Structure 1
């Protein structure tokens, strides 16, 4: 009976799929990471195939490029970032003292606020003790995975599986898509294919487009602030670039943090001009080059949707949920758009206008008498 009804059949498939995701979520993380990397690299593979390279050679080239970038990130960028974070944390107490000395007299004279109520000494102690307890990123990771031999084996297994999964998914990506399309019932295949294409456009606009824009902005911010002479150029540039998926948030955060840092470092207000120049040039490059070239006219996920999806996924399923959040949000956004369009065209939304009474035809005698 269930198989005879398409509605009940797909409802059963959906419930079983969700139950399997919940039960298997502890082991699915490397598969999701591999699928994420394969999804990002598949367009490059297809482009290399268009240049008359074989699929295997194209996959190998993209695979090596992806993992060289990942390796360079962990070998060089992470230690530099950790060093800058440590230096920044050690400098925070001096930032607080400088801020109290600058703003304290103003607050006292104009608002009657005694700077002592801010309890800066206690705040500095909390920051210092918290950093000593937490330590660095790398040391925390090593301590976490070294608490149990099984945890170490799990981490090693996952790290070893990710490259293997990525390679095979990249090689067979188009074949898997065609296989799934062939499995769909022919009655719903056109609708599912349309929704899948729209979901790919939405997700691709964010992952492939907006992610590249964020990385490019982070590089521009960091390079510009480094040329200005800012001590924490890499850290501030990376933070401003990462939060730039929310319109103007990266600009506001970057200008605010970099402005305070350059004032504290040089004690010269004129250097604020160079900070404004760096972010102004970056915004011009983003609006005229980066966004039109990398994102184009595609409509990605709304920034609020991205924030909510990531937080909700992390709350429900941890790191696995964070990885799954964006694909699920993209599909749901497309489905809701389709439901909205269907609703606007349905009789539920439409207002039926009363039918007009049929026109009364006049015979020749009546027409003559009226004439």
Structure 2
């Protein structure tokens, strides 16, 4: 009898997970701004609690905090985006000379694989297409945004999300403790302590990741950007930010950062010493991350295998786009806690032992 009951419980649990996945998949466009709002509320709840402990009402504390976050993001944007714009303009301006360098570098190798003149003609046409990419991209973006109903609808949806996110974030942050209590009330009374313990463990894993790994990524982004700047790498700020934040996935930052940095540095300077300097920057920063930065800031790892992290990022990108990429790893870490507890419960059940 117990075995049949346990089997039914497992079946219901699996069916529930499948239904939840289907629901989230078909509702992903609607739910995405609420996921972002919840993630921000989760991040800012400890700060709100600290302000509330100073005898400030929670509503007023949330307003103060959201205003501060808005001013901080605006200030960072005003500081970083002009630099990114300047570096992007420099890259576009120098793109023809970069293409010429590539042609000079590749041409001596053409005789090894075939008729040099024929291959050179093909490459000239392809490089010409590459040189036209910035104008084509700008034309495509303009056409999508202003030349079609679908593009206009997407733009309106983006504006709506920019309104929904702060509004939902305000209410979630204001009622965060009440929401937690209501969610906990759904658990059966006999299992409430166990559920609370599980939630605290998940919170510890998420807090350690969010407050630790993201800080590590930002530090690495700063180090990469500074090092690449001194090596004369075009788009050093953008590549540094990309490599640092991509480090959330093991070794991804090294791949997406080093390859374009080395190529652009060579095209800009044609100096192999500086290319080796770029390699040195990535080697030093990776060494600092492994030996000093991560152990001091994050401490213990989140308990996920690198392959599981890569799979989580790919699934997050497939279901929720850029937002999915950002939240996939912490979400996978939380699910890993649930999976571990569920596996332990399953192994201790009569269904497994009988």
Report the TM-score, using the length of structure 1 for normalisation. Answer: 0.73
Q: 1-side partners of 2:64 and 2:180: how far apart?
A: 22
- 1:114-141 CA distance string (max 9 Å, x none): 5553732232233234432221898578
Deviation per residue, 1:75-102 (Å, 9 max, x gap): 4534543553454355455434423423
CA distance in 2, matches of 1:253, 1:222: 14
Deviation at 1:165, TM superposition (A): 1.7
Pick aligned residue for 2:119 from 117, 120, 132 = 117
Out of 175, 178, 182, the position equivalent to 1:179 is 182
1:137 and 1:77 map into 2 onto residues whose CA distance is 25
Using the TM superposition, give the Cα deviation of residue 205 of structure 1 relative to its aligned residue in structure 2, in angstroms: 3.7
**Paired residue total:** 346
Q: Is the 8 A contact 1:245 1:303 kept in 2?
A: no
Aligned residue in 2 for 1:334: 337
Q: Which of the pair has more CA radius of gyration?
A: 1
SS at structure 2 position matched to 1:330:
helix
Aligned-partner Cα distance in 2 for 1:246–1:325: 10
Is the Cα contact below 8 Å between 2:48 and 2:62 reproduced in 1?
yes
Given that 1:241 and 1:250 are in contact with CA atoms closer than 8 Å, whether structure 2 keeps it comes out as yes
SS in 2 for 1:247: coil
Flag the 1:41–1:303 CA change in 2: closer, same or farther, 3 A. farther
Mapped partners of 2:140, 2:247: distance in 1: 24
The answer to whether 1:38 aligns with 2:80 is no
Cα deviations by residue, 1:50-87 (Å, 9 ceiling, x for unpaired): 67766445434432332223334554534543553454
1:22–1:245 CA distance, 2 compared to 1 (3 A): closer
Superposed counterparts of 1:124-135, under 5 Å? 124-135=127-138
For the pair 1:220 / 2:223, whether they are aligned, the reply is: yes
Distance apart, 1:35 and its partner CA: 0.8
Moved more, 85-94 or 151-160: 85-94
Match of 1:67? 70
Q: Does 1:292 align with 2:332?
A: no
Please give the secondary structure, in 1, of the residue aligned with 2:168. helix
The within-5 A match list for 1:1-371 is 7=9, 21-22=24-25, 24-49=27-52, 55-56=58-59, 58-78=61-81, 80-85=83-88, 87-89=90-92, 91-105=94-108, 108=111, 111-112=112-113, 117=119, 119-135=122-138, 142-143=145-146, 151-299=154-302, 301-316=304-319, 325-326=328-329, 328-342=331-345
- 3-state SS of paired residue (1:184): coil
- The runs of 5 or more residues in structure 1 that have no matched partner are 353-371
C-alpha deviation, 1:341, in angstroms: 3.5
Residue 247 of structure 2: SS of its match in structure 1? helix
Displacement of 1:234 in angstroms is: 1.0
Change (3 A) 1:82 1:349: farther
Q: Tell me the distance in 2 between the aligned counterparts of 1:43 and 1:255.
A: 36
How far apart in 2 are the matches of 1:201 and 1:126? 51
Indicate the SS of the match to 1:188.
Answer: helix
2:188 match: secondary structure = coil
CA RMSD, 1 decimal: 4.0
What's the secondary structure of 2:167's corresponding residue? helix
Structure 2, unaligned runs of 5 or more: none
Structure 1 residue 255: deviation in Å?
3.5
Query: Hey, what's the Cα distance between the residues in 2 that align with 1:179 and 1:225?
Result: 50
Give the 3 Å change call, closer, same or farther, for CA 283–57 of structure 1 in structure 2. farther
Conserved? CA contact 1:45–1:55, under 8 Å: yes
Q: CA-to-partner distance for each residue in 1:10-31, whole Å, 9 max, x for gaps?
A: 7787677556545644332322
Distance 1:251 1:332 in 2: 27
Distance 1:201 1:261 in 2: 41
**Structure 1 residue 157 displacement after superposition:** 2.8
**CA 175–234 in structure 1, closer or farther in 2 if over 3 Å, else same:** same
User: Which TM-score applies when normalising by structure 2?
Assistant: 0.76
